[in-house]
Structure 1
Amino acid sequence: MPDYAADDAYLGAVVGRYANRIAHGRFVLDGVTYELPTNDRGHTLHGGMDGFHRRVWAGVGFADGERAGVRGTPFDFTPPAATEGPAAAVSLGDRVRSDHPQVAAVNGLDHCLVLRGGVGLRRAALLHAPESGRVLETWTTEPGLQIYTANALGAPFGRHAAVCLETQRIPDSPNRPAYPSTVLRPGQAHCSSTQYRFTHLPTR
Protein backbone atom coordinates (compact mmCIF):
# COMPACT_ATOMS: atom_id res chain seq x y z
CA MET A 1 0.00 0.00 0.00
CA PRO A 2 2.76 2.58 0.75
CA ASP A 3 4.31 1.95 -2.68
CA TYR A 4 0.94 2.42 -4.34
CA ALA A 5 0.25 5.67 -2.46
CA ALA A 6 3.70 7.03 -3.31
CA ASP A 7 3.49 6.26 -7.03
CA ASP A 8 3.41 9.39 -9.21
CA ALA A 9 2.65 7.68 -12.53
CA TYR A 10 -1.08 7.07 -11.78
CA LEU A 11 -0.69 3.33 -12.47
CA GLY A 12 -3.93 1.55 -11.63
CA ALA A 13 -5.22 4.70 -9.95
CA VAL A 14 -8.64 6.27 -9.59
CA VAL A 15 -7.90 9.76 -10.86
CA GLY A 16 -9.76 12.95 -10.12
CA ARG A 17 -11.52 14.98 -9.16
CA TYR A 18 -11.09 15.63 -12.87
CA ALA A 19 -9.40 13.10 -15.18
CA ASN A 20 -7.01 14.49 -17.80
CA ARG A 21 -6.14 18.20 -17.94
CA ILE A 22 -7.72 21.52 -17.01
CA ALA A 23 -5.98 24.27 -18.94
CA HIS A 24 -3.73 26.63 -16.95
CA GLY A 25 -5.07 25.29 -13.64
CA ARG A 26 -8.20 27.41 -13.52
CA PHE A 27 -11.90 27.40 -14.41
CA VAL A 28 -14.99 29.53 -13.81
CA LEU A 29 -18.11 28.14 -12.14
CA ASP A 30 -21.16 30.33 -11.45
CA GLY A 31 -19.07 33.44 -12.08
CA VAL A 32 -16.33 32.48 -9.61
CA THR A 33 -12.79 31.73 -10.82
CA TYR A 34 -11.16 28.75 -9.14
CA GLU A 35 -7.38 28.33 -9.12
CA LEU A 36 -6.00 24.79 -9.03
CA PRO A 37 -2.52 23.39 -8.30
CA THR A 38 -0.66 22.70 -11.53
CA ASN A 39 1.44 19.59 -12.06
CA ASP A 40 1.83 19.19 -15.82
CA ARG A 41 3.51 21.97 -17.80
CA GLY A 42 1.39 24.67 -16.22
CA HIS A 43 -1.85 22.68 -16.35
CA THR A 44 -3.73 20.56 -13.79
CA LEU A 45 -3.53 16.84 -14.57
CA HIS A 46 -5.76 14.20 -12.92
CA GLY A 47 -6.78 16.42 -10.01
CA GLY A 48 -3.31 17.67 -9.12
CA MET A 49 -0.65 16.23 -6.86
CA ASP A 50 -3.09 15.45 -4.03
CA GLY A 51 -5.98 14.08 -6.06
CA PHE A 52 -8.12 10.97 -5.72
CA HIS A 53 -5.10 8.80 -6.58
CA ARG A 54 -3.76 9.52 -3.09
CA ARG A 55 -6.88 8.08 -1.42
CA VAL A 56 -7.59 4.48 -0.42
CA TRP A 57 -10.79 3.20 -2.01
CA ALA A 58 -13.06 0.24 -1.36
CA GLY A 59 -13.82 -1.59 -4.59
CA VAL A 60 -16.60 -3.83 -5.84
CA GLY A 61 -15.81 -6.19 -8.71
CA PHE A 62 -18.11 -6.78 -11.72
CA ALA A 63 -18.15 -8.75 -15.06
CA ASP A 64 -6.34 19.24 -24.44
CA GLY A 65 -6.97 21.20 -27.10
CA GLU A 66 -9.56 21.77 -29.80
CA ARG A 67 -11.77 18.99 -31.03
CA ALA A 68 -10.52 17.90 -34.45
CA GLY A 69 -11.30 15.23 -37.02
CA VAL A 70 -9.12 12.10 -37.12
CA ARG A 71 -9.48 10.90 -40.70
CA GLY A 72 -6.10 10.44 -42.32
CA THR A 73 -4.18 11.03 -39.06
CA PRO A 74 -2.42 8.68 -36.60
CA PHE A 75 -5.45 9.14 -34.33
CA ASP A 76 -7.86 7.42 -36.72
CA PHE A 77 -8.77 4.07 -35.16
CA THR A 78 -12.06 3.64 -36.97
CA PRO A 79 -12.16 0.28 -38.82
CA PRO A 80 -13.23 -0.03 -42.46
CA ALA A 81 -16.96 -0.39 -42.98
CA ALA A 82 -18.35 -3.84 -42.06
CA THR A 83 -14.92 -5.00 -40.87
CA GLU A 84 -14.32 -6.65 -37.50
CA GLY A 85 -11.53 -8.59 -35.81
CA PRO A 86 -7.87 -8.82 -36.92
CA ALA A 87 -8.66 -7.59 -40.43
CA ALA A 88 -9.57 -4.22 -38.95
CA ALA A 89 -6.49 -4.01 -36.71
CA VAL A 90 -4.43 -0.85 -36.49
CA SER A 91 -0.86 -1.20 -35.19
CA LEU A 92 -0.18 1.00 -32.18
CA GLY A 93 3.54 0.57 -32.82
CA ASP A 94 3.21 2.27 -36.19
CA ARG A 95 1.22 5.12 -34.67
CA VAL A 96 3.66 5.98 -31.87
CA ARG A 97 6.49 6.22 -34.43
CA SER A 98 4.55 8.65 -36.63
CA ASP A 99 6.15 12.00 -37.52
CA HIS A 100 2.83 13.78 -36.95
CA PRO A 101 3.59 16.96 -34.91
CA GLN A 102 1.22 16.02 -32.07
CA VAL A 103 2.73 12.55 -31.78
CA ALA A 104 6.30 13.83 -31.91
CA ALA A 105 5.55 16.47 -29.25
CA VAL A 106 4.76 13.84 -26.59
CA ASN A 107 6.83 10.92 -27.97
CA GLY A 108 3.75 8.81 -28.68
CA LEU A 109 0.02 8.96 -28.07
CA ASP A 110 -1.47 10.92 -25.17
CA HIS A 111 -4.75 12.05 -26.66
CA CYS A 112 -8.46 11.92 -25.87
CA LEU A 113 -10.77 10.48 -28.52
CA VAL A 114 -14.39 11.62 -28.57
CA LEU A 115 -16.50 8.48 -28.82
CA ARG A 116 -19.39 7.80 -31.14
CA GLY A 117 -22.51 5.88 -30.27
CA GLY A 118 -24.50 8.24 -28.06
CA VAL A 119 -25.30 7.46 -24.42
CA GLY A 120 -25.28 4.19 -22.56
CA LEU A 121 -22.73 1.42 -22.22
CA ARG A 122 -20.98 0.73 -25.52
CA ARG A 123 -17.68 -0.66 -26.72
CA ALA A 124 -15.04 2.06 -27.00
CA ALA A 125 -11.95 0.04 -27.89
CA LEU A 126 -10.58 -3.41 -28.65
CA LEU A 127 -6.93 -4.34 -28.14
CA HIS A 128 -5.45 -7.52 -29.59
CA ALA A 129 -1.95 -8.86 -28.91
CA PRO A 130 -1.24 -11.30 -31.78
CA GLU A 131 1.73 -13.05 -30.12
CA SER A 132 -0.09 -13.91 -26.89
CA GLY A 133 -3.62 -14.02 -28.24
CA ARG A 134 -4.87 -11.70 -25.52
CA VAL A 135 -7.90 -9.56 -26.30
CA LEU A 136 -9.14 -6.64 -24.21
CA GLU A 137 -12.38 -4.78 -24.84
CA THR A 138 -13.17 -1.48 -23.11
CA TRP A 139 -16.84 -0.63 -22.62
CA THR A 140 -17.98 2.65 -21.08
CA THR A 141 -20.76 5.18 -20.61
CA GLU A 142 -18.23 8.04 -20.77
CA PRO A 143 -17.93 10.31 -23.85
CA GLY A 144 -14.12 10.21 -24.12
CA LEU A 145 -11.27 7.69 -24.19
CA GLN A 146 -7.71 8.78 -23.51
CA ILE A 147 -5.01 6.67 -25.19
CA TYR A 148 -1.64 6.88 -23.46
CA THR A 149 1.24 4.79 -24.76
CA ALA A 150 3.61 5.00 -21.78
CA ASN A 151 5.63 7.79 -23.36
CA ALA A 152 7.38 8.93 -20.19
CA LEU A 153 7.23 6.11 -17.67
CA GLY A 154 10.54 5.47 -15.94
CA ALA A 155 12.26 2.28 -14.81
CA PRO A 156 11.42 -0.55 -14.60
CA PHE A 157 9.12 0.33 -17.49
CA GLY A 158 10.36 1.16 -20.96
CA ARG A 159 8.95 3.75 -23.30
CA HIS A 160 5.93 2.38 -25.18
CA ALA A 161 6.01 -0.83 -23.13
CA ALA A 162 2.32 -0.48 -22.26
CA VAL A 163 -0.88 1.24 -23.27
CA CYS A 164 -3.51 2.86 -21.04
CA LEU A 165 -7.17 3.23 -22.04
CA GLU A 166 -8.67 5.86 -19.73
CA THR A 167 -12.43 6.49 -19.94
CA GLN A 168 -13.39 10.03 -19.03
CA ARG A 169 -15.12 13.29 -19.81
CA ILE A 170 -13.62 15.53 -22.48
CA PRO A 171 -10.44 17.37 -21.34
CA ASP A 172 -10.85 20.95 -20.12
CA SER A 173 -14.66 20.64 -20.14
CA PRO A 174 -15.11 23.13 -17.26
CA ASN A 175 -13.75 25.83 -19.58
CA ARG A 176 -15.67 24.74 -22.69
CA PRO A 177 -19.44 25.25 -22.53
CA ALA A 178 -20.02 23.32 -25.76
CA TYR A 179 -18.72 20.11 -24.18
CA PRO A 180 -20.84 17.82 -21.94
CA SER A 181 -21.01 19.39 -18.50
CA THR A 182 -18.91 18.05 -15.63
CA VAL A 183 -20.64 20.15 -12.96
CA LEU A 184 -22.09 18.10 -10.09
CA ARG A 185 -24.55 20.12 -8.00
CA PRO A 186 -25.36 19.43 -4.34
CA GLY A 187 -27.90 16.63 -4.11
CA GLN A 188 -27.09 15.26 -7.56
CA ALA A 189 -25.61 11.79 -8.06
CA HIS A 190 -22.79 10.94 -10.44
CA CYS A 191 -23.10 7.59 -12.22
CA SER A 192 -20.50 6.15 -14.58
CA SER A 193 -19.70 2.64 -15.74
CA THR A 194 -16.54 1.24 -17.35
CA GLN A 195 -15.87 -2.43 -18.01
CA TYR A 196 -12.64 -4.10 -19.14
CA ARG A 197 -13.48 -7.44 -20.74
CA PHE A 198 -10.77 -10.02 -21.47
CA THR A 199 -12.69 -11.84 -24.18
CA HIS A 200 -9.96 -14.43 -24.86
CA LEU A 201 -10.58 -15.97 -21.45
CA PRO A 202 -13.17 -18.74 -21.10
CA THR A 203 -16.49 -17.66 -19.65
CA ARG A 204 -17.43 -19.02 -16.25
Structure 2
Amino acid sequence: MIFGTLPSGHQVECVELSSGRLRAEVLTYGAVVRSLEVSGVDVVLGLDTLDDYLTRSRYFGAVVGRYGNRIAGGRFVLDGVEYRLPVNNGPNSLHGGTEGFDSKVWTIAARSDDSVTLTLTSPDGDQGYPGTLTASVTYTLADDALRIDYAVETDAPTVVNLTNHSYFNLKGEGDVLDHVVRMDAPHYLPVDDDKIPTGELAPVKGTPFDFTEPHVVGERNGGAYDHCFVLDGGATVTAGGLTMEVTTTEPGVQFYTGSMLDAAATPYGPFAGLCLETQHFPDSPNRPEFPSTVLRPGERRTSTTSYRFI
Protein backbone atom coordinates (compact mmCIF):
# COMPACT_ATOMS: atom_id res chain seq x y z
CA MET A 1 0.00 0.00 0.00
CA ILE A 2 1.06 3.62 -0.45
CA PHE A 3 2.29 5.16 2.81
CA GLY A 4 2.77 8.69 1.42
CA THR A 5 4.29 10.88 -1.26
CA LEU A 6 7.55 12.80 -0.94
CA PRO A 7 7.85 16.45 -2.04
CA SER A 8 9.81 15.12 -5.03
CA GLY A 9 6.74 13.18 -6.12
CA HIS A 10 8.19 9.77 -5.25
CA GLN A 11 5.63 7.49 -3.66
CA VAL A 12 6.63 5.56 -0.56
CA GLU A 13 5.21 2.06 -0.19
CA CYS A 14 4.49 0.14 2.99
CA VAL A 15 4.99 -3.64 2.72
CA GLU A 16 3.21 -5.86 5.24
CA LEU A 17 4.85 -9.10 6.31
CA SER A 18 3.57 -11.91 8.52
CA SER A 19 4.71 -15.26 9.86
CA GLY A 20 3.21 -17.07 12.82
CA ARG A 21 2.90 -14.62 15.70
CA LEU A 22 5.04 -11.97 13.99
CA ARG A 23 3.77 -9.06 11.90
CA ALA A 24 5.89 -6.29 10.38
CA GLU A 25 5.58 -3.20 8.23
CA VAL A 26 8.53 -2.10 6.07
CA LEU A 27 8.72 1.21 4.21
CA THR A 28 10.58 1.81 0.97
CA TYR A 29 11.65 5.15 2.47
CA GLY A 30 14.91 4.44 4.29
CA ALA A 31 14.17 0.69 4.26
CA VAL A 32 12.46 1.49 7.57
CA VAL A 33 11.04 -1.21 9.84
CA ARG A 34 7.99 0.80 10.88
CA SER A 35 6.47 -1.85 13.13
CA LEU A 36 7.25 -5.32 14.42
CA GLU A 37 4.47 -7.00 16.34
CA VAL A 38 5.07 -10.06 18.50
CA SER A 39 1.75 -11.60 19.53
CA GLY A 40 0.12 -8.21 19.00
CA VAL A 41 2.71 -6.12 20.88
CA ASP A 42 4.63 -3.66 18.71
CA VAL A 43 8.23 -3.91 19.95
CA VAL A 44 9.84 -1.22 17.76
CA LEU A 45 9.35 2.54 17.79
CA GLY A 46 7.60 3.75 14.65
CA LEU A 47 6.09 6.98 13.38
CA ASP A 48 2.58 7.68 12.16
CA THR A 49 3.16 9.57 8.91
CA LEU A 50 5.74 10.07 6.18
CA ASP A 51 6.06 13.70 7.25
CA ASP A 52 7.06 12.46 10.70
CA TYR A 53 9.88 10.43 9.14
CA LEU A 54 10.98 13.52 7.21
CA THR A 55 10.96 15.89 10.17
CA ARG A 56 10.77 14.03 13.50
CA SER A 57 12.83 10.85 13.04
CA ARG A 58 16.04 9.88 14.81
CA TYR A 59 16.72 7.13 12.28
CA PHE A 60 13.75 5.16 13.65
CA GLY A 61 13.89 1.68 12.04
CA ALA A 62 16.01 2.81 9.09
CA VAL A 63 18.97 1.24 7.31
CA VAL A 64 21.79 3.74 7.75
CA GLY A 65 24.73 4.09 5.36
CA ARG A 66 26.90 4.25 3.50
CA TYR A 67 28.59 4.24 6.85
CA GLY A 68 26.60 3.54 10.00
CA ASN A 69 28.00 5.27 13.09
CA ARG A 70 30.66 8.00 13.20
CA ILE A 71 33.66 8.88 11.04
CA ALA A 72 35.97 11.32 12.80
CA GLY A 73 36.28 14.78 11.28
CA GLY A 74 34.15 13.77 8.30
CA ARG A 75 37.23 12.48 6.48
CA PHE A 76 39.18 9.33 5.64
CA VAL A 77 42.04 8.32 3.38
CA LEU A 78 41.72 5.36 1.04
CA ASP A 79 44.54 4.23 -1.26
CA GLY A 80 46.31 7.54 -0.65
CA VAL A 81 43.31 9.73 -1.56
CA GLU A 82 41.50 11.82 1.04
CA TYR A 83 37.71 11.89 0.94
CA ARG A 84 35.58 14.52 2.68
CA LEU A 85 32.11 13.77 4.02
CA PRO A 86 29.28 15.97 5.30
CA VAL A 87 29.69 16.80 8.98
CA ASN A 88 26.38 16.35 10.79
CA ASN A 89 27.29 15.30 14.33
CA GLY A 90 29.55 17.87 15.94
CA PRO A 91 32.86 17.57 14.06
CA ASN A 92 31.97 14.12 12.71
CA SER A 93 30.01 12.46 9.95
CA LEU A 94 27.24 10.26 11.33
CA HIS A 95 25.23 7.51 9.62
CA GLY A 96 26.31 8.39 6.09
CA GLY A 97 25.93 12.16 6.21
CA THR A 98 23.14 14.65 5.73
CA GLU A 99 21.40 12.61 3.01
CA GLY A 100 22.27 9.04 3.88
CA PHE A 101 20.54 5.80 3.01
CA ASP A 102 17.90 6.46 5.67
CA SER A 103 16.53 9.30 3.52
CA LYS A 104 16.51 7.46 0.18
CA VAL A 105 13.64 5.65 -1.53
CA TRP A 106 14.61 2.03 -1.98
CA THR A 107 13.25 -0.22 -4.75
CA ILE A 108 11.29 -3.39 -4.07
CA ALA A 109 13.18 -6.19 -5.85
CA ALA A 110 11.19 -9.13 -4.47
CA ARG A 111 8.43 -9.73 -1.98
CA SER A 112 6.37 -12.54 -0.48
CA ASP A 113 4.05 -12.92 2.49
CA ASP A 114 6.98 -13.15 4.91
CA SER A 115 9.88 -11.45 3.11
CA VAL A 116 10.84 -8.35 1.14
CA THR A 117 14.07 -7.40 -0.62
CA LEU A 118 14.87 -3.72 -1.15
CA THR A 119 17.69 -2.38 -3.33
CA LEU A 120 19.46 0.96 -3.62
CA THR A 121 22.13 2.36 -5.94
CA SER A 122 24.37 5.03 -4.45
CA PRO A 123 26.27 6.90 -7.20
CA ASP A 124 29.95 7.74 -7.14
CA GLY A 125 30.49 10.80 -4.94
CA ASP A 126 27.24 10.36 -3.01
CA GLN A 127 27.83 12.20 0.30
CA GLY A 128 31.52 12.26 -0.62
CA TYR A 129 31.99 8.49 -0.82
CA PRO A 130 33.84 7.04 -3.83
CA GLY A 131 32.47 4.40 -6.16
CA THR A 132 28.99 3.47 -7.30
CA LEU A 133 27.62 1.19 -4.58
CA THR A 134 24.73 -1.22 -5.01
CA ALA A 135 23.09 -2.37 -1.80
CA SER A 136 20.31 -4.76 -0.94
CA VAL A 137 18.57 -5.56 2.31
CA THR A 138 16.18 -8.47 2.82
CA TYR A 139 13.79 -8.61 5.75
CA THR A 140 12.41 -12.07 6.50
CA LEU A 141 10.03 -13.21 9.21
CA ALA A 142 10.57 -16.89 10.06
CA ASP A 143 10.92 -19.10 13.14
CA ASP A 144 9.81 -16.30 15.49
CA ALA A 145 12.60 -14.04 14.18
CA LEU A 146 13.18 -10.98 12.06
CA ARG A 147 16.22 -11.80 9.94
CA ILE A 148 18.05 -9.03 8.08
CA ASP A 149 20.37 -9.95 5.19
CA TYR A 150 22.59 -7.27 3.66
CA ALA A 151 24.66 -7.38 0.46
CA VAL A 152 26.86 -4.68 -1.10
CA GLU A 153 28.99 -4.36 -4.24
CA THR A 154 31.00 -1.47 -5.71
CA ASP A 155 32.70 -0.48 -8.97
CA ALA A 156 35.54 1.37 -7.19
CA PRO A 157 37.23 1.06 -3.80
CA THR A 158 35.06 2.49 -1.03
CA VAL A 159 34.11 2.01 2.62
CA VAL A 160 30.73 0.72 3.75
CA ASN A 161 29.09 -0.21 7.05
CA LEU A 162 25.34 -0.84 6.93
CA THR A 163 23.15 -1.40 9.96
CA ASN A 164 19.52 -1.19 11.00
CA HIS A 165 18.62 1.51 13.52
CA SER A 166 15.48 0.09 15.10
CA TYR A 167 14.66 1.12 18.65
CA PHE A 168 13.24 -1.81 20.63
CA ASN A 169 10.87 -1.69 23.57
CA LEU A 170 9.73 -5.20 24.42
CA LYS A 171 6.83 -3.95 26.55
CA GLY A 172 5.50 -1.81 23.71
CA GLU A 173 5.22 1.21 26.03
CA GLY A 174 6.99 3.14 28.77
CA ASP A 175 10.77 3.20 28.92
CA VAL A 176 13.50 0.56 28.65
CA LEU A 177 15.31 1.28 31.92
CA ASP A 178 13.87 -1.98 33.34
CA HIS A 179 14.97 -4.10 30.36
CA VAL A 180 17.54 -6.76 31.21
CA VAL A 181 20.48 -6.97 28.78
CA ARG A 182 23.17 -9.62 28.38
CA MET A 183 25.90 -9.45 25.73
CA ASP A 184 28.70 -11.86 24.87
CA ALA A 185 31.05 -8.90 24.70
CA PRO A 186 34.23 -9.08 26.80
CA HIS A 187 35.47 -5.75 25.38
CA TYR A 188 34.02 -2.39 24.39
CA LEU A 189 35.37 0.69 22.61
CA PRO A 190 36.01 3.69 24.90
CA VAL A 191 35.31 7.01 23.18
CA ASP A 192 36.44 10.61 23.46
CA ASP A 193 34.20 13.61 24.08
CA ASP A 194 33.03 13.49 20.44
CA LYS A 195 32.13 9.78 20.76
CA ILE A 196 35.01 8.68 18.54
CA PRO A 197 36.79 5.47 19.64
CA THR A 198 40.18 5.98 21.20
CA GLY A 199 41.43 2.83 19.48
CA GLU A 200 41.50 0.75 22.66
CA LEU A 201 39.53 -2.49 23.01
CA ALA A 202 38.95 -2.18 26.74
CA PRO A 203 37.94 -5.08 28.99
CA VAL A 204 34.42 -4.67 30.38
CA LYS A 205 35.17 -6.57 33.59
CA GLY A 206 34.71 -4.38 36.65
CA THR A 207 33.06 -1.55 34.67
CA PRO A 208 29.46 -0.43 34.05
CA PHE A 209 29.94 -1.82 30.52
CA ASP A 210 30.05 -5.44 31.67
CA PHE A 211 26.94 -7.16 30.31
CA THR A 212 28.51 -10.60 30.14
CA GLU A 213 26.07 -11.33 32.97
CA PRO A 214 22.51 -9.94 32.79
CA HIS A 215 22.00 -6.39 34.06
CA VAL A 216 19.05 -4.04 34.15
CA VAL A 217 19.65 -1.09 31.81
CA GLY A 218 18.96 1.57 34.43
CA GLU A 219 21.00 0.15 37.31
CA ARG A 220 24.38 1.60 36.18
CA ASN A 221 25.71 4.58 34.27
CA GLY A 222 22.36 6.33 34.66
CA GLY A 223 21.09 3.90 32.04
CA ALA A 224 22.85 5.94 29.32
CA TYR A 225 24.85 3.91 26.81
CA ASP A 226 25.97 4.81 23.30
CA HIS A 227 28.99 2.57 22.82
CA CYS A 228 30.22 -0.13 20.49
CA PHE A 229 30.76 -3.54 22.07
CA VAL A 230 33.11 -6.16 20.62
CA LEU A 231 31.08 -9.33 20.20
CA ASP A 232 32.15 -12.86 20.97
CA GLY A 233 28.69 -14.30 20.45
CA GLY A 234 25.19 -12.87 20.68
CA ALA A 235 23.02 -10.78 22.98
CA THR A 236 19.67 -11.00 24.72
CA VAL A 237 17.16 -8.46 25.96
CA THR A 238 14.32 -9.40 28.34
CA ALA A 239 11.28 -7.40 29.46
CA GLY A 240 7.54 -7.79 29.75
CA GLY A 241 7.72 -11.58 29.65
CA LEU A 242 9.49 -11.51 26.28
CA THR A 243 13.11 -12.24 25.39
CA MET A 244 14.83 -11.09 22.20
CA GLU A 245 17.88 -13.06 21.10
CA VAL A 246 20.29 -11.20 18.80
CA THR A 247 22.79 -13.04 16.60
CA THR A 248 24.94 -11.55 13.87
CA THR A 249 27.89 -12.10 11.55
CA GLU A 250 29.14 -8.58 12.40
CA PRO A 251 32.09 -8.02 14.80
CA GLY A 252 30.36 -5.39 16.93
CA VAL A 253 27.11 -3.91 18.14
CA GLN A 254 26.35 -0.30 19.00
CA PHE A 255 24.30 -0.37 22.18
CA TYR A 256 22.30 2.85 22.45
CA THR A 257 19.61 3.28 25.08
CA GLY A 258 17.87 6.30 23.57
CA SER A 259 19.05 8.69 26.28
CA MET A 260 19.20 11.57 23.79
CA LEU A 261 15.68 11.15 22.43
CA ASP A 262 13.82 14.43 22.82
CA ALA A 263 10.07 14.43 23.33
CA ALA A 264 9.92 17.97 21.96
CA ALA A 265 11.49 16.93 18.67
CA THR A 266 10.18 13.37 18.29
CA PRO A 267 7.08 11.51 19.49
CA TYR A 268 9.29 9.75 22.06
CA GLY A 269 11.19 10.85 25.14
CA PRO A 270 14.48 9.65 26.62
CA PHE A 271 14.90 5.88 27.06
CA ALA A 272 11.74 5.07 25.05
CA GLY A 273 13.66 2.40 23.14
CA LEU A 274 17.07 0.80 22.88
CA CYS A 275 19.13 0.00 19.81
CA LEU A 276 21.35 -3.00 19.15
CA GLU A 277 22.91 -1.88 15.87
CA THR A 278 25.03 -4.78 14.62
CA GLN A 279 27.93 -3.43 12.58
CA HIS A 280 31.64 -2.93 12.08
CA PHE A 281 33.36 -0.51 14.44
CA PRO A 282 32.94 3.30 14.35
CA ASP A 283 35.68 5.25 12.56
CA SER A 284 37.21 2.07 11.10
CA PRO A 285 38.33 3.92 7.92
CA ASN A 286 40.71 5.91 10.17
CA ARG A 287 41.67 2.95 12.36
CA PRO A 288 43.72 0.33 10.49
CA GLU A 289 43.83 -1.78 13.65
CA PHE A 290 40.05 -2.26 13.48
CA PRO A 291 38.37 -4.84 11.18
CA SER A 292 38.40 -3.33 7.70
CA THR A 293 35.30 -1.79 6.13
CA VAL A 294 36.98 -1.34 2.73
CA LEU A 295 35.04 -2.84 -0.19
CA ARG A 296 36.71 -3.32 -3.56
CA PRO A 297 35.41 -4.11 -7.06
CA GLY A 298 34.73 -7.78 -7.59
CA GLU A 299 33.84 -8.33 -3.94
CA ARG A 300 30.33 -9.00 -2.69
CA ARG A 301 30.06 -8.47 1.04
CA THR A 302 27.17 -10.03 2.88
CA SER A 303 26.02 -9.83 6.47
CA THR A 304 23.16 -11.33 8.49
CA THR A 305 21.53 -10.31 11.75
CA SER A 306 18.62 -12.05 13.46
CA TYR A 307 16.30 -10.79 16.19
CA ARG A 308 14.48 -13.85 17.59
CA PHE A 309 11.67 -13.67 20.12
CA ILE A 310 11.00 -16.30 22.77
Same fold (TM over 0.5): yes
What is the 5 A alignment of 1:154-173? 154-155=262-263, 156-173=267-284
Unaligned 5+ runs, structure 1: 80-88, 99-107, 118-123, 200-204
Q: What residue number does 2:205 align with?
A: 71
Residue in 2 that maps onto 1:50:
99
CA distance in 2, matches of 1:96, 1:134: 24
Deviation, 1:182, is: 0.5
Mark the runs of 5 or more structure 2 residues left unpaired by the alignment.
5-49, 109-115, 117-137, 143-195
Verify: 1:182 aligned to 2:231, yes or no. Answer: no
Q: What SS does the corresponding residue of 2:261 show, helix, strand or coil?
A: coil
How far off its partner does 1:61 sit?
A: 3.2
CA 1:188–1:6: 2 relative to 1, 3 Å: farther
Q: State the 1:9 CA deviation.
A: 0.5
Instruction: Write the distance in 1 (CA, Å) between the matches of 2:221 and 2:275.
Output: 13
2:70 is aligned, of 8, 21, 45, to 21
- Select 1:93's aligned residue among 185, 210, 218: 218
* Deviation for aligned residue 1:38: 0.8
Structure 1 or 2: more strand by fraction: 2
Could you tell me which residue of structure 2 aligns to residue 109 of structure 1? 225
Q: What SS does the aligned partner of 1:97 have? A: helix
- 1:7, distance to aligned residue in structure 2 (A): 4.4
Task: Kindly provide the amino acid, as one letter, of the partner of residue 229 in structure 2.
Answer: L
1:137-152 to 2 correspondence within 5 Å?
A: 137-152=245-260
Corresponding position of 1:83: none
- After superposition, give the CA deviation of every residue in 1:16-54 in whole Å (9 maximum; x if it has no partner): 101111111100000001111011111011101101101
- Aligned-pair Cα RMSD in Å: 1.6
- In the TM superposition, what is the alpha-carbon distance from 1:69 to its structure 2 partner? 1.7
| Alpha-carbon distance between aligned partners in 2 of 1:145 and 1:18, rounded to the nearest angstrom | 14
The Cα offsets for residues 70-99 of structure 1, whole Å up to 9 and x where unpaired, read as 1111111112xxxxxxxxx2111113417x
Please say which of residues 64-73 and 185-194 is displaced more in the overlay.
Answer: 64-73
TM-score if structure 2 supplies the norm length? 0.53
Distance 2:55 2:73 in 1: 25
How far is 1:154 from its partner? 1.9
Give how far 1:175 is off: 0.7
Instruction: Between 147-156 and 163-172, report the one with greater CA deviation.
Output: 147-156
- Supply the AA of the counterpart residue of 1:28: V
Q: How many residues align?
A: 173
Q: Provide the residue aligned with 1:61 in structure 2.
A: 139
Classify the secondary structure of the residue corresponding to 1:192. strand
1:5 touches 1:53 (CA, 8 Å); kept in 2? Answer: no
